[in-house]
Structure 1
């Protein structure tokens, strides 16, 4: 923990040294409130679509989730992922609060599979969009960075995605214990096949996941527009996924500090200053935090929710 906060403090110090924070503050003071309101609606759409994806994934595995439960629990998870370190606490709580009946031999496995597969679908879609953005750089931005350098960036980003994905999965479920973790992995393949590939579900999962990624990018693009730094759609696809990708690095709360440093480095490639990038990133962070506030209300209202769901085996 001490190392994590030391890295974050060093990063913030470097950001303060390299970026005109006064200019960033000035950009924040001129934020367009109407655009911010539209961005808040984008956050709600993101939560709704994510809840739909979770409900579809759980249903494929035999777990029944009502619409109100799926949406409410996703708000709770989104809020906790914003305010707790690591970015996965809300997902773990989704499993706990929606586990199966105690009469089931393993009341955690199906809910855990559903949550993991739902989040993994989003990471795959996000990785695809990030790669498309990097390929756009390779095709159009060789004057800014040599093609060889961009290929190196592509390789590093892909390696980082793989590493963070494997590390996140291992850390999230290692606490199940050796035997239960082994069983979880054995059953994960069939669960993935059922939830992603049976009955043409790859199309449903793909459309939902790409739509959710589009919401992320749209909210960030609106945040940049709100501070007076509108991004061309192609430019947005090139810079926004990389800025959001840094949030996977587990050294801060919800990517704060890391995301701003990335935006400060990336926005000059779009023709703006690093201060504009910092301001846009701060607005994005505040909008996503405010958009998840219903989760805090639900958590206070129903802090110990556990309604055992009916689960049937649908992996035959």
Structure 2
């Protein structure tokens, strides 16, 4: 009888589990459970539903941005197909480890439309990257024009500066022809890197497509900010404007890091830290953060239903749609 082989837990997943649990243990140790429960019982439902609607608009608009990016690469996929995949991707980003599982699925199911896995990944990466650029821009402008409350946020100036500089460096690397020398020396990985850079470069050098994606990205992130604003109102909170134009964009950027389970724990820790600096109590800030995560999760749930039978869809198999 052969011994059963046990799969080892990947270190990345183990790290995410440890980070998520550790932050929640620290947060819950300081939590007044009675006060936290009371906060949730007093939620203003219309504001909460408005927040869910805002996130649904966010998902819909981001699928349009994805379509623009594909057209810039001279590829095409029906808008309804991209919308379905975007919702599926949002769902799996919430229920699978890491923060990009759903993005990998989006790329996998658009292989027939792009002609290659690498180009499909490049389009999804560009979609994410442009969206992050809008967040960086909003955070930077918010920081530059913020009022007196800005000085209350610990290390926010340095954080915004590092995020802005990092984003600029990545753009420079994408457009730099100097990386071609490295790509030829690392085999298959180099070819994939070349294809991704070529796809991104095609978008960044296409003024009309770039403008469209930037405008859509700004709209998408404004929907996200509006969601956060509506959630604060649903809890009866009215924080300073810097919370919406600086804190939330910065927190959203950190959630792209695959160091916690779907952002849980990391989001709560950062919001408790920053919102606490803006004179919001621990329990109020934790309630707001948990409500934000719940809103994203609940709004993404239709993606589970949309995923059913997706592998049998003609477009997933590279077949034309029936007329």
Identify the TM-score tier after normalising by the shorter chain.
Answer: 0.7 to 0.9
* Contact residue 27 and residue 228 of structure 1 kept, 8 A: no
Cα distance change on mapping 1:213 and 1:198 into 2, 3 Å: same
Q: 2:160 aligns with which of 138, 147, 154?
A: 154
Give the Cα–Cα distance (whole angstroms) in 2 for the partners of residues 219 and 83 of structure 1.
21
SS in 1 for 2:270: helix
Q: 1:124 corresponds to which residue?
A: 133
Correspondence list, 1:8-47, <5 A: 8-47=20-59
Correspondence list, 1:219-238, <5 A: 219-238=227-246
The Cα shift of 1:109 comes to: 2.5
Correspondence list, 1:78-157, <5 A: 78-100=90-112, 107-136=116-145, 140-141=148-149, 144=152, 149-157=155-163
Q: Structure 2: give runs of 5+ residues left out of the alignment.
A: 1-12, 172-185
The Cα shift of 1:117 comes to: 0.9
The normalised TM-score by structure 2 is: 0.81
| Deviations 1:37-85, CA, capped at 9 Å, x for gaps | 1111111111110100001101111221101101001000000001111
Correspondence list, 1:59-78, <5 A: 59-78=71-90
Q: 2:63 corresponds to which residue?
A: 51
Correspondence list, 1:158-169, <5 A: 158=164
Cα distance change on mapping 1:304 and 1:247 into 2, 3 Å: farther
The Cα shift of 1:190 comes to: 3.5
Aligned length, in residue pairs: 293
Residue 265 of structure 2 is aligned to residue 253 of structure 1: no
Q: 1:308 aligns with which of 288, 311, 318?
A: 318
* Contact residue 150 and residue 242 of structure 2 kept, 8 A: no
The Cα shift of 1:234 comes to: 4.0
Aligned Cα RMSD in Å? 2.8
Cα distance change on mapping 1:285 and 1:142 into 2, 3 Å: closer
Q: 2:3 corresponds to which residue?
A: none
Cα distance change on mapping 1:2 and 1:200 into 2, 3 Å: closer
Q: Structure 1: give runs of 5+ residues left out of the alignment.
A: 166-177, 311-316
SS in 1 for 2:75: coil
Mean CA deviation greater in 294-303 or 32-41: 294-303
